[in-house]
Structure 1
Amino acid sequence: MVASFGRDAFKLPSFPTSLAEVTSEWVTGVLGAPKRSDVTIRIPQARIGYGSEIGFLDIASDDPAVPSSLVVKVPPKDRRTREAVIQFGAFRRELMFYRSIAPHVPIRTPKVYVMELDAETGSGILLVEDCSQMKSFLFGQSPPTLDQLLQTVTTLAKLHAAWWDKTEALPQEVNRHDPETWNAWLADIQSGWQQWQSSPLSAHLDDAAAALCQRLSGDFVNCSNLRPSTNLTLCHMDFHIQNLFYDTASEEDPVVVIDWDSCGVGCGPHDLAYLMSLLPTLHRKDNESEILQRYHEELLANGVTGYDEEAMYTDYRIGSLLATSLQPVLLNLVALDSEALHLIGSLASRQLQMVVDHKAQQLLDTR
């Protein structure tokens, strides 16, 4: 359930929009904590994500209803990135999810304590459950085991099955990607691939990936006929291992899904393809068939009908191609220092190789 202590978050006259502005007085006020409570903020040295600034609040309070630790999430402090995130509607969308959708999904999401949004600017702040004591994953470290991935896709299938062919029940604010919006997005991504090709990232590609990159920079708009129109459901649309926590203390339901600022109506296997495309290539190949089978079995077990494995694979293959849209987005969000060049170059190679492995580039041949 979405929880809020004290005042209605949407009626507060002002709130912090950067980590530097978060004060002990503000935190204790919105939580309704005793004034003698002490709050300190920890800002991690390593960056967590690209679309927001993340801090950790340590709270010492005599009130047992006040959590001892929370995560605070605000827009990025870099001006260009901040403007891009706000224009994208990230905070507006995430707050809408936690307010209107999270109470009804059959999977675990972080408990929310405070949600605040400036309706005019789209800036906002979130105070949410601190899940950092759970197991987490990073792209540059060891990926989830097969058992952990199977639990993850079981969770994903439950989410998709719950809204399968029922998306009319979702709030009107949820993105539904009409044809005009879809085609404009394709054109933006194609233009972004052209910039990507001219960036230092292109040096990280082998010949096959470089050739595919060239095609994407000229033919991505040919995906216009791939817009999802049937078997629609609620999708996370940024479903990858860094947006998951794995709670080893909960054997039956260990997966907690975070960062819902991209969620919208779409095709479920596209979420799955996105997840798989960002795994190390050999790890993906070794486990892909078993993971696809589990996902399909769980869809059927949770009530989806009339959707066979062939149809699922067709959607998964399309999803592998569309997943590459992440690369131009990252190019606009991330300062390309040596560490970022290495990481993003590695992720690009993984995603492009998955397209090649499933011959999904053939989908660009017709418009």
Structure 2
Amino acid sequence: MDRIIDDPLAITPTWLEGQLRCISSFKDLKVTTVETETIGAATGFLSRIARLTPTYGAKAPQAPSTLILKVQTNREGFTDVAERLQAFERELGFYKDFAPDLQARLPRVFGGYAEGGKGWILMEDLSAWSQGDQVFGISHDQVKSTLKIMAAVHAGYWQCDQLGMKSWLPCHDFWFHDDLGVTWATIKKSYALRLGEAAVALIDRVVNNYENLIEELDRLPQTLVHGDLRADNLLLSSPASSGSDVIVIDWQTVTRSLACIDLAFLIGGSEPTAERHGHAQDLLRFWHQQLVAHGVCDYPYQQALHHLRLALLICLAVPIVAFKELDGPSFHSAREAQLAECFLFRHTQAALDWSAEIALQD
């Protein structure tokens, strides 16, 4: 039963019944048929998603009418990334060891199996929510709603010894931690003029000092970090523009590290520059206030500002590695080209707007 699933569209009623019967409230459940459909093909890189629509043999008022099945990617190149990151082991570890203690709204998990970067997770279908769009971006209010959720997560595990006891939870293990030099040289050939001299000079310095920046993280406060906090990994309440509620999903890159990595990733990658213009500082202040409200009292705002600048520098690796993983400049689709460019220009502009170069001088 607990084996790797190669084709999520080949799920049988017997298999689904066996998984649901492991839950006490469903122990007598009978699944007679199951329909499957692929969803989310344009946004998933480390996994594939299918929606399952079962029919039941008797009245089952508590049984889910639809479910989501998440299985490992079959895309060449990304299979190696998923294996290196131990993606499914991390995500199942998160839902088992941390999710039950979090106040945040998360999908209910009905079962799962992991062999490092491969595996599957059977979970609640939350398709009534709107998925964020990385290329389109999210609003300032939606960024704040996300930061409110993550501040509770960060505060709950701030400098927590429990994190080091989880064998599946690595330290500072980001999908964008890579050798940057060759790919950055390729990017410069196509984008140097559009980025501008200041941006190119800053990224040059970051690439040359990247390992030193990563090593600095060992000396800073650690907590539970999502590691890929961006619009595609958010579910937004309807209407999506309201920003009143957010669900953070896709915890395959969860790690223990500096909390501001999540801020840099979200602010730098998912909020368009024009949306952020004129009130960027209030995002850090809002998150810091939430952190303090949750009991983190020994973390001054100026220290958080320095850490955000450091994180913005580290996250300049995101567009470089994304460009490489998406096979730039020979992208497979217009969507992937747009994704690579929004990573590049947003993260770079955020680092400039926040004067992140100051963190290189300290």
Same fold (TM over 0.5): yes
Post-superposition Cα deviations, 1:276-306, rounded to whole Å, max 9, x if no partner, equal 0012112123332222121111111111112
Percent identity between matched residues is 25
Give the 3-state SS of the residue equivalent to 1:286 in structure 2.
coil
Structural RMSD (CA): 2.9
Post-superposition Cα deviations, 1:121-168, rounded to whole Å, max 9, x if no partner, equal 642001111112113210222523x33322221111111111112243
Out of 143, 147, 165, the residue aligned to residue 153 of structure 1 is 147
**Structure 1 runs of 4+ off > 6 angstroms?**
none
Gap runs ≥5 in structure 1: 1-11
Q: Report the alpha carbon displacement of residue 362 of structure 1 after superposing the two structures with TM.
A: 4.6
Q: Report the alpha carbon displacement of residue 364 of structure 1 after superposing the two structures with TM.
A: 4.1
Aligned residues: 345
Asked if 1:135 corresponds to 2:130, the answer is: yes
CA contact (8 A) 1:193 1:328 kept: no
Post-superposition Cα deviations, 1:303-342, rounded to whole Å, max 9, x if no partner, equal 1112111011111111111112222432343242351123
One-letter identity of the residue aligned with 1:260: W
Q: Report the alpha carbon displacement of residue 253 of structure 1 after superposing the two structures with TM.
A: 8.2
Post-superposition Cα deviations, 1:21-78, rounded to whole Å, max 9, x if no partner, equal 4334322332237545321111137412221111212223342232111111111112
> Which residue does the alignment assign to 1:242?
232
> Which residue does the alignment assign to 2:180?
192
Asked if 1:350 corresponds to 2:346, the answer is: yes
Structure 2 Cα separation of the partners of residues 13 and 75 of structure 1: 14
Q: 1:360 to 1:252 in 2, by over 3 A?
A: closer
Which deviates more from structure 2 when the two are superposed, residues 193-202 or residues 325-334? 193-202
Which deviates more from structure 2 when the two are superposed, residues 125-134 or residues 169-178? 169-178
Asked if 1:123 corresponds to 2:114, the answer is: no
Structure 1 Cα separation of the partners of residues 2 and 261 of structure 2: 40
CA contact (8 A) 2:137 2:272 kept: no
Gap runs ≥5 in structure 2: none
Q: 1:275 to 1:13 in 2, by over 3 A?
A: closer
> Which residue does the alignment assign to 1:259?
250
Q: Report the alpha carbon displacement of residue 363 of structure 1 after superposing the two structures with TM.
A: 3.6
Structure 1 Cα separation of the partners of residues 343 and 113 of structure 2: 33
CA contact (8 A) 2:264 2:308 kept: yes
**TM-score normalised by length of structure 1:** 0.83
Structure 1 Cα separation of the partners of residues 341 and 54 of structure 2: 39
Q: 1:361 to 1:30 in 2, by over 3 A?
A: same
Post-superposition Cα deviations, 1:172-214, rounded to whole Å, max 9, x if no partner, equal 2254538xx89xx99x62x234224325984384223333343
Give the 3-state SS of the residue equivalent to 1:227 in structure 2.
helix
Structure 1 Cα separation of the partners of residues 51 and 283 of structure 2: 34
Which deviates more from structure 2 when the two are superposed, residues 69-78 or residues 285-294? 285-294
> Which residue does the alignment assign to 1:26?
15
Structure 2 Cα separation of the partners of residues 167 and 201 of structure 1: 45
Structure 1 Cα separation of the partners of residues 316 and 121 of structure 2: 29
